[in-house]
Amino acid sequence: MRILILEDDPAIAFDLQAILEADGHEVVDSISSLAEAYQHLDDRFDCALLDIDVIGGKSFGVAETLMERHIPFVFVSASAPSDLPQPLQQAAFVAKPFEEKVLLKTVEHAVPNLLPC
């Protein structure tokens, strides 16, 4: 699976990338700001991992654009799921600090049509 990461903490971004690549996924890019995220929305990826609070503000607009385009995403954040705006409260969510198994299982469930048969 091709995954885009939006995370402004370089150490966390590195951990996410290492976990995903060790599980056989391809990280197409790891970006840290909203401006970069909007520039990469036309890239080809199967899923995105979104921190909520990143450089430039909150990633809710990016998430809404992904929803409109039917691109799965997972929030990976220290914020609470209840902090999400109403239209995004059903989105997949992994709380920081995250466990590797929980992260991978959540990503797999976010993109069920790409799972092996």
List of residues 6+ apart from 45 with CB closer than 8 A: 2, 3, 4, 28, 71
69: left (phi over 0), alpha (psi -120 to 50) or beta: alpha
Q: What is the mean pLDDT of residues 43-69?
A: 96
**For residue 37, how far is the Cα from the chain centroid?**
11
Give the pLDDT band (50/70/90) at residue 19.
Answer: very high
- How many residues in total does the chain contain? 117
Q: What is the mean pLDDT of residues 78-89?
A: 92
Model pLDDT, residue 117 = 31
Q: What is the mean pLDDT of residues 26-50?
A: 96
- Cα dihedral 47, 98, 56, 48, rounded to 10, equals 0
Give the pLDDT band (50/70/90) at residue 116.
Answer: very low
Give the pLDDT band (50/70/90) at residue 113.
Answer: low
pTM: 0.93
